[in-house]
Protein backbone atom coordinates (compact mmCIF):
# COMPACT_ATOMS: atom_id res chain seq x y z
CA UNK A 1 0.00 0.00 0.00
CA UNK A 2 2.96 2.28 0.54
CA UNK A 3 3.31 2.66 -3.19
CA UNK A 4 0.21 4.86 -3.53
CA UNK A 5 0.78 8.47 -4.45
CA UNK A 6 0.52 10.68 -1.36
CA UNK A 7 -2.21 12.79 -2.91
CA UNK A 8 -4.40 9.81 -3.80
CA UNK A 9 -6.09 9.41 -0.45
CA UNK A 10 -6.52 13.14 -0.14
CA UNK A 11 -8.34 13.37 -3.47
CA UNK A 12 -10.28 10.25 -2.61
CA UNK A 13 -11.46 11.65 0.72
CA UNK A 14 -12.36 15.02 -0.80
CA UNK A 15 -14.54 13.29 -3.39
CA UNK A 16 -16.24 11.14 -0.77
CA UNK A 17 -16.80 14.24 1.37
CA UNK A 18 -18.49 15.76 -1.66
CA UNK A 19 -20.67 12.67 -2.00
CA UNK A 20 -21.67 12.61 1.68
CA UNK A 21 -22.44 16.31 1.77
CA UNK A 22 -24.39 16.39 -1.46
CA UNK A 23 -26.38 13.28 -0.59
CA UNK A 24 -27.17 14.68 2.85
CA UNK A 25 -27.98 11.17 4.02
CA UNK A 26 -27.18 9.75 7.45
CA UNK A 27 -26.96 6.30 5.90
CA UNK A 28 -24.27 7.31 3.46
CA UNK A 29 -22.47 9.18 6.25
CA UNK A 30 -22.50 6.06 8.39
CA UNK A 31 -21.30 3.87 5.54
CA UNK A 32 -18.44 6.21 4.70
CA UNK A 33 -17.32 6.32 8.35
CA UNK A 34 -17.34 2.54 8.40
CA UNK A 35 -15.53 2.39 5.08
CA UNK A 36 -12.87 4.84 6.24
CA UNK A 37 -12.42 2.86 9.44
CA UNK A 38 -11.81 -0.35 7.51
CA UNK A 39 -9.36 1.35 5.16
CA UNK A 40 -7.36 2.89 7.97
CA UNK A 41 -7.43 -0.29 9.99
CA UNK A 42 -6.22 -2.33 7.02
CA UNK A 43 -3.77 0.00 5.34
CA UNK A 44 -2.44 2.69 7.66
CA UNK A 45 1.24 2.39 8.50
CA UNK A 46 2.37 2.05 12.09
CA UNK A 47 3.38 5.68 12.43
CA UNK A 48 2.47 8.65 14.60
CA UNK A 49 0.27 10.22 11.95
CA UNK A 50 -1.78 7.01 11.70
CA UNK A 51 -3.33 7.93 15.04
CA UNK A 52 -5.00 10.91 13.37
CA UNK A 53 -8.00 8.91 12.24
CA UNK A 54 -8.81 7.54 15.68
CA UNK A 55 -8.34 11.00 17.06
CA UNK A 56 -10.80 12.34 14.45
CA UNK A 57 -13.28 9.65 15.40
CA UNK A 58 -13.01 10.71 19.03
CA UNK A 59 -13.53 14.35 18.13
CA UNK A 60 -16.40 13.30 15.89
CA UNK A 61 -18.06 11.34 18.67
CA UNK A 62 -17.55 14.28 20.99
CA UNK A 63 -19.15 16.64 18.47
CA UNK A 64 -22.04 14.26 17.95
CA UNK A 65 -22.72 14.06 21.68
CA UNK A 66 -22.42 17.81 22.11
CA UNK A 67 -24.73 18.49 19.21
CA UNK A 68 -27.30 16.04 20.48
CA UNK A 69 -27.15 17.36 24.03
CA UNK A 70 -27.27 20.95 22.89
CA UNK A 71 -30.14 20.07 20.56
CA UNK A 72 -32.06 18.53 23.46
CA UNK A 73 -31.31 21.33 25.90
CA UNK A 74 -31.63 24.44 23.83
CA UNK A 75 -32.79 23.24 20.42
CA UNK A 76 -35.54 24.99 18.54
CA UNK A 77 -38.57 22.75 19.10
CA UNK A 78 -39.71 20.70 16.11
CA UNK A 79 -43.29 19.42 16.28
CA UNK A 80 -43.82 15.65 16.00
CA UNK A 81 -43.87 12.51 18.09
CA UNK A 82 -43.17 13.40 21.70
CA UNK A 83 -40.43 11.36 23.35
CA UNK A 84 -40.08 13.05 26.74
CA UNK A 85 -40.30 16.43 28.33
CA UNK A 86 -37.72 18.39 30.32
CA UNK A 87 -38.62 21.12 32.79
CA UNK A 88 -38.23 24.54 31.25
CA UNK A 89 -35.45 26.66 32.72
CA UNK A 90 -35.24 30.22 31.42
CA UNK A 91 -31.86 31.88 31.32
CA UNK A 92 -31.35 35.60 32.01
CA UNK A 93 -32.53 37.81 29.18
CA UNK A 94 -29.06 39.10 28.37
CA UNK A 95 -28.23 35.63 27.14
CA UNK A 96 -30.31 36.09 24.00
CA UNK A 97 -33.42 34.89 25.85
CA UNK A 98 -32.39 31.27 25.66
CA UNK A 99 -34.77 28.77 27.20
CA UNK A 100 -33.48 25.42 28.41
CA UNK A 101 -35.57 22.28 28.26
CA UNK A 102 -39.07 21.74 26.93
CA UNK A 103 -40.68 19.02 24.88
CA UNK A 104 -38.26 16.75 23.03
CA UNK A 105 -39.67 15.11 19.94
CA UNK A 106 -38.33 12.23 17.90
CA UNK A 107 -37.94 14.57 14.95
CA UNK A 108 -35.93 16.99 17.09
CA UNK A 109 -33.53 14.25 18.20
CA UNK A 110 -33.14 12.73 14.73
CA UNK A 111 -32.46 16.13 13.21
CA UNK A 112 -29.56 16.70 15.63
CA UNK A 113 -28.14 13.25 15.06
CA UNK A 114 -28.52 13.47 11.31
CA UNK A 115 -26.58 16.73 10.98
CA UNK A 116 -24.04 15.49 13.49
CA UNK A 117 -23.39 12.29 11.59
CA UNK A 118 -22.59 14.17 8.41
CA UNK A 119 -20.12 16.37 10.24
CA UNK A 120 -18.53 13.31 11.85
CA UNK A 121 -18.25 11.66 8.43
CA UNK A 122 -16.47 14.69 6.99
CA UNK A 123 -14.07 14.93 9.93
CA UNK A 124 -13.25 11.26 9.87
CA UNK A 125 -12.66 11.32 6.12
CA UNK A 126 -10.12 14.09 6.63
CA UNK A 127 -8.61 12.01 9.41
CA UNK A 128 -8.45 8.96 7.16
CA UNK A 129 -6.58 10.93 4.49
CA UNK A 130 -4.03 12.05 7.07
CA UNK A 131 -3.66 8.58 8.53
CA UNK A 132 -3.15 6.93 5.18
CA UNK A 133 -0.54 9.42 3.95
CA UNK A 134 2.93 9.95 5.34
CA UNK A 135 3.39 13.68 5.89
CA UNK A 136 7.01 13.27 4.80
CA UNK A 137 5.89 11.89 1.49
CA UNK A 138 3.27 14.57 1.18
CA UNK A 139 5.97 17.18 1.68
CA UNK A 140 7.97 15.57 -1.07
CA UNK A 141 5.22 16.15 -3.58
CA UNK A 142 4.62 19.71 -2.48
CA UNK A 143 5.21 21.77 -5.57
CA UNK A 144 8.66 23.29 -5.74
CA UNK A 145 7.05 26.75 -5.78
CA UNK A 146 6.54 26.46 -2.04
CA UNK A 147 10.00 25.00 -1.57
CA UNK A 148 11.04 27.34 1.24
CA UNK A 149 7.96 26.66 3.29
CA UNK A 150 8.31 22.98 2.46
CA UNK A 151 11.89 22.88 3.73
CA UNK A 152 10.87 24.72 6.89
CA UNK A 153 8.13 22.14 7.45
CA UNK A 154 10.59 19.30 6.87
CA UNK A 155 12.91 20.86 9.44
CA UNK A 156 10.09 21.29 11.91
CA UNK A 157 8.82 17.74 11.58
CA UNK A 158 12.35 16.29 11.71
CA UNK A 159 13.26 18.37 14.74
CA UNK A 160 10.21 17.48 16.82
CA UNK A 161 11.33 14.02 17.90
CA UNK A 162 14.74 15.48 18.82
CA UNK A 163 13.03 18.07 20.98
CA UNK A 164 11.36 15.37 23.01
CA UNK A 165 14.80 13.85 23.64
CA UNK A 166 16.25 17.24 24.54
CA UNK A 167 13.46 17.85 27.03
CA UNK A 168 14.14 14.63 28.89
CA UNK A 169 17.88 15.34 28.81
CA UNK A 170 17.39 18.80 30.31
CA UNK A 171 14.92 17.50 32.89
CA UNK A 172 17.55 15.03 33.96
CA UNK A 173 20.11 17.78 34.30
CA UNK A 174 17.72 19.69 36.57
CA UNK A 175 17.29 16.63 38.74
CA UNK A 176 21.07 16.34 38.90
CA UNK A 177 21.34 19.82 40.25
CA UNK A 178 19.09 18.72 43.04
CA UNK A 179 15.97 20.32 41.67
CA UNK A 180 13.33 17.65 42.24
CA UNK A 181 10.47 19.59 40.69
CA UNK A 182 12.08 21.51 37.89
CA UNK A 183 10.11 24.57 37.04
CA UNK A 184 8.68 24.88 33.58
CA UNK A 185 10.97 27.81 32.99
CA UNK A 186 14.17 26.01 33.89
CA UNK A 187 13.45 23.43 31.20
CA UNK A 188 12.03 25.73 28.57
CA UNK A 189 14.93 28.18 28.56
CA UNK A 190 17.76 25.71 27.96
CA UNK A 191 15.54 24.02 25.38
CA UNK A 192 15.02 27.31 23.59
CA UNK A 193 18.71 28.18 23.70
CA UNK A 194 19.55 24.71 22.45
CA UNK A 195 17.14 24.90 19.55
CA UNK A 196 18.18 28.39 18.58
CA UNK A 197 21.85 27.56 18.40
CA UNK A 198 20.95 24.37 16.57
CA UNK A 199 19.06 26.37 13.98
CA UNK A 200 22.11 28.54 13.33
CA UNK A 201 24.27 25.47 12.80
CA UNK A 202 21.63 24.07 10.51
CA UNK A 203 21.47 27.29 8.52
CA UNK A 204 25.23 27.19 7.98
CA UNK A 205 24.97 23.59 6.78
CA UNK A 206 22.12 24.50 4.43
CA UNK A 207 24.01 27.45 3.03
CA UNK A 208 27.07 25.31 2.46
CA UNK A 209 25.06 22.63 0.69
CA UNK A 210 23.52 24.87 -1.90
CA UNK A 211 20.22 25.92 -0.36
CA UNK A 212 18.66 28.73 -2.35
CA UNK A 213 21.24 28.69 -5.14
CA UNK A 214 19.17 27.40 -7.99
CA UNK A 215 15.78 28.80 -8.85
CA UNK A 216 14.68 25.37 -9.96
CA UNK A 217 14.93 22.28 -7.81
CA UNK A 218 14.78 18.65 -8.69
CA UNK A 219 13.37 15.75 -6.72
CA UNK A 220 15.22 12.70 -5.56
CA UNK A 221 13.12 9.63 -6.38
CA UNK A 222 10.18 11.57 -7.78
CA UNK A 223 6.91 9.98 -6.77
CA UNK A 224 4.88 9.10 -9.82
CA UNK A 225 1.15 8.74 -10.28
CA UNK A 226 0.29 5.21 -11.25
CA UNK A 227 -2.66 3.18 -12.44
CA UNK A 228 -3.70 2.10 -8.97
CA UNK A 229 -3.93 5.74 -7.92
CA UNK A 230 -6.26 6.46 -10.81
CA UNK A 231 -8.39 3.45 -9.84
CA UNK A 232 -8.80 4.66 -6.25
CA UNK A 233 -9.66 8.18 -7.37
CA UNK A 234 -11.98 6.92 -10.11
CA UNK A 235 -13.88 4.75 -7.62
CA UNK A 236 -14.44 7.74 -5.38
CA UNK A 237 -15.49 9.77 -8.39
CA UNK A 238 -18.07 7.14 -9.34
CA UNK A 239 -19.51 7.22 -5.85
CA UNK A 240 -19.79 11.00 -6.08
CA UNK A 241 -21.52 10.84 -9.47
CA UNK A 242 -23.87 8.18 -8.16
CA UNK A 243 -24.93 10.24 -5.17
CA UNK A 244 -25.33 13.34 -7.29
CA UNK A 245 -27.58 11.39 -9.67
CA UNK A 246 -29.63 9.62 -7.01
CA UNK A 247 -30.05 12.22 -4.31
CA UNK A 248 -30.59 15.29 -6.44
Partner 1 sequence: MINFSRVSLVYPTSTKTILEDLSFEIAEGEMVLVIGSTGTGKSSLLRLINGLVPHHTGGILAGDITVGGVSTQLVRPGELAHLVGIVGQNPAQGFVTDIVEEELAFGMEALNIAPDVMRKRVEEILDLLALAHLRNRAISTLSGGEQQRVAIGSALVMNPKVLVLDEPTSALDPIAAEEVLSILHRLVHDLSLTVVIAEHRLERVIGFADRIIHIAGDGSAEINLPEEILKRSEIAPPIVHLARALGLSDVGLSVREVRRMTEEIRASGKDIPREVGQLGEIAIRTNKLSLTYGEKKALNEVSTQIHSGEIVALMGRNGAGKSSLLTTLVGINKLSSGSSEINGIKSVDLKGQVRRETVGFIPQEPSDLLYGQSVQGECQQADRDNQSAPGSTFALLKRIVPSINPETHPRDLSEGQRLALALAIVISAQPKVLILDEPTRGLDYQSKALLISLLKNFAKELNRSVLIATHDVELVAELCDRVIFLAEGEVVADGPTLDILLSSPAFAPQVAKVMSPRPWLTVSDVMRAVAE
Partner 2 sequence: MKTFTSDIYKFSRSSKIALALTSVFAAAGFTWPFFASDMESARFAQYFFWVAMPLAFALLLTQLSDRSLDAKSVALLGMLAALLAALRPLGAGAIGIEPMWFLLILAARVFGSAFGFLLGALGMLASALFTGGVGPWLTYQIFAAGVIGLLAGAFAKDLRGWREQIYLLLIAIVCALGYGLLMNLQFWPWALGTNTQLSFIPGGDIQINLRRFISFHFLSSMAWDIPRAILTSVLVVTTGPAVLAALRRTKKRAAFLTPIEFSERLS
The DSSP 8-state label assigned to residue 92 in this structure reads P
Q: Is 226 in the site for partner 1 (CB under 8 A)?
A: no
Q: What is the nearest approach in angstroms of partner 1 to the Cβ of residue 152?
A: 10
Q: Is 58 in the site for partner 1 (CB under 8 A)?
A: no
Largest CA distance in the chain: 74
Q: Which does 221 bind (CB under 5 to 8 A by kind): partner 2, partner 1, none?
A: partner 1
Residues 180-199 that bind partner 1 (CB under 8 A): 180, 185-186, 189-190, 193-194, 197-198
Q: Is 90 in the site for partner 2 (CB under 8 A)?
A: no
- Non-local (6+) Cβ contacts of 223 within 8 A are 5, 6, 137, 140, 141
Q: Number of residues interacting with partner 1: please give it, by CB under 8 A.
A: 48
Residues 137-166 that bind partner 1 (CB under 8 A): 151, 154-155, 157-158, 161-162, 165
Q: What per-residue string of b and e applies to 12-23 under the rule 16 or more CB within 10 Å gives b? A: bbbbbbbbbeeb
Q: Is 63 in the site for partner 2 (CB under 8 A)?
A: yes
Q: What are phi and psi of 122, to 5 degrees?
A: -60, -45
Query: Which lies closer to partner 1 via its Cβ, residue 85 or residue 207?
Result: 207
Binding mask 18-47 for partner 2 (x = CB under 8 A): ---x--x-----------------------
Q: Which stretch binds partner 1 (CB under 8 A): 19-27, 39-47, 50-58, 174-182?
A: 174-182
Q: Which does 132 bind (CB under 5 to 8 A by kind): partner 2, partner 1, none?
A: none
Query: Which lies closer to partner 2 via its Cβ, residue 31 or residue 59?
Result: 59
Cα atoms found within 13 Å of the Cα of residue 74, Cβ hemisphere only: 10
- Non-local (6+) Cβ contacts of 100 within 8 A are 73, 74, 86, 88, 89, 90, 91
Write a three-state SS string for 137-179.
HHHHCCCHHHHHHHHHHHHHHHHHHHHHHHHHHHHHHHHHCCC
Amino acid sequence: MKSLHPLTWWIWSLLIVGAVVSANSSWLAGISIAGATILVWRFAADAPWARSFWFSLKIGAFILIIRTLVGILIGVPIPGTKLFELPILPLPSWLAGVRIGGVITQERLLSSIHEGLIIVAVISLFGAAVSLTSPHKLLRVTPVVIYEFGVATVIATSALPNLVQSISRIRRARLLRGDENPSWRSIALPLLEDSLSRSLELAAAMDARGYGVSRKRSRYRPISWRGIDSVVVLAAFLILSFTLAVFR
